[in-house]
Structure 1
Amino acid sequence: MTPDQFAAAGAGFALGLSLIVAIGAQNAFVLRQGLRREHVGVVVAICAVSDALLISAGVLGFGRMTAALPWLAPAMRVFGALFLLAYGALSFRSAWQGGGSLETAGGQGAQSLARVAGVCLALTWGNPHVYLDTLVLMGAVSAEWEAKRAFALGGMTASLVFFTALGFGARLLAPLFRRPVAWRALDAGVGVVMWGIALRLVLGG
């Protein structure tokens, strides 16, 4: 891997990870399944494969669109910067206000594989933010890099690493993330990354 490809992969990994770690229904579901030790591998696979498909579509498809529409890349950089600023502001607000915590896994008895997979697919593909994050935002930022495939690979790797750690490491993370201070630190970190990427988009534009 060349230095440019390595840098692009690192940027894709950092952006992908910062987008994924934001607290949401999908992550809470993965955590709960990890705590229950129930169909964790299937849940992780669904999340990671879904992200890989969406990231590929965003990064590779965005490149084709920008070739046909030269004004699209600058416009999407502006949109991406505004989106990241707003996203980061919400993260900072959550960090300031606190109150976030991990709900313990609920329910009694085992759930079927079909039910768990169905819920996971619904939370993944039914969330409008996933399309903004992958198709729009990842695609817009990838325009800054010539090594777009490496950038996409970095984003996919971030997704696989995060969901694997979240699902199979849930029992280790649960005691920590039952403490609101852990969520506040996480939200603050996400805000810093978001604003840093927004600044780069503005300066690069």
Structure 2
Amino acid sequence: MLNAASTGFATGFVLILAIGAQNAFVLRQGLRRAHVFWVCLTCATSDAILIAAGVSGFGAIADSTPWLPDLMRWLGVAFLTGYGVSRLNAARAPQAALALSGEAEPLRKALLTCLAFTWLNPHVYLDTLALIGAVSVPFEGSAKLAFGGGAISASFVFFFGLGYGARLLAPLLQSPRAWQILDAGIGLLMLVLALSLALH
């Protein structure tokens, strides 16, 4: 049981560690101290649903719908491109740069953006439904449940650690210029990810 849980935790943590659109958004919300708890909870809960589906064998069902990957891919390209352009536009305007104490966007908008980053990202399905699902195959019964629980706990640890740990960078981001650089970096990252998805 312990071995299965630790294997699940390590697998989930390694897969989620790479900086992507979802992680960059959580980092930005953490730096702004804007709806951090709800954003982290939304990301982790979404991952938990997908991981549970992958461990329970939903990957086979996803493979039986050949049109689904392409649909998700182009929806992801459109969303990442739009968000990337919006961040680059924010970086161009000094008055739009966000100070740490600046007014936060509404919770509803933040959560919808967070959900889009999660559910419109084809890589999320690859990581959770396919890869985690495949690694869980050797485990059976209670050991499989332990593996899934370990992978899900890794997601909660990562997102809450990223969201609240981002505050350690706060002293470096007190100026509008620093926020311009951050927004420009996030915008470029989104466009690179969109291009990567389009060429996949």
Shorter chain as denominator, the TM-score bin is: 0.5 to 0.7
CA contact 2:29–2:163 (8 Å) conserved in 1: yes
CA contact 2:21–2:117 (8 Å) conserved in 1: yes
Q: 1:21 to 1:110 in 2, by over 3 A?
A: same
1:128 aligns with 2:148: no
CA contact 1:62–1:140 (8 Å) conserved in 2: no
CA contact 1:26–1:124 (8 Å) conserved in 2: yes
**Partner of residue 38, structure 1:** 34
Structure 2: distance between partners of 1:138 and 1:114? 30
**Partner of residue 17, structure 1:** 13
Structure 2: distance between partners of 1:19 and 1:174? 27
Amino acid at match of 1:49: T
**Partner of residue 76, structure 1:** none
Deviation track 1:117-167 (CA, whole Å, cap 9, x = no partner) reads 110000010100000000011100001222111000000000000001000
1:51 aligns with 2:47: yes
SS of 2:19's partner is: coil
SS of 1:38's partner is: coil
Which runs of 5 or more residues in structure 1 are unaligned? 66-71, 73-102, 179-205
Q: 1:47 to 1:164 in 2, by over 3 A?
A: same
**TM-score, structure 2 normalization:** 0.62
Deviation track 1:61-118 (CA, whole Å, cap 9, x = no partner) reads 259x6xxxxxx9xxxxxxxxxxxxxxxxxxxxxxxxxxxxxx9xx5463200011011
Which runs of 5 or more residues in structure 2 are unaligned? 64-90, 92-96, 173-177, 179-200
Q: Which moved more, 1:155-164 or 1:106-115?
A: 106-115
SS of 2:125's partner is: helix
Q: 1:10 to 1:175 in 2, by over 3 A?
A: farther
2:132 equivalent among 126, 129, 138: 138
Amino acid at match of 2:157: V
Q: 1:51 to 1:115 in 2, by over 3 A?
A: same
Q: 1:174 to 1:109 in 2, by over 3 A?
A: closer
Structure 1 moving runs of 4+ over 2 Å: 106-109, 173-176
**TM-score, structure 1 normalization:** 0.61
Taking every aligned residue pair, what percent have the same amino acid on both sides? 61
CA contact 1:34–1:166 (8 Å) conserved in 2: yes
Say what the alpha-carbon RMSD is for the aligned residues. Answer: 2.7
Amino acid at match of 1:116: A
User: How far off its partner does 1:171 sit?
Assistant: 1.5
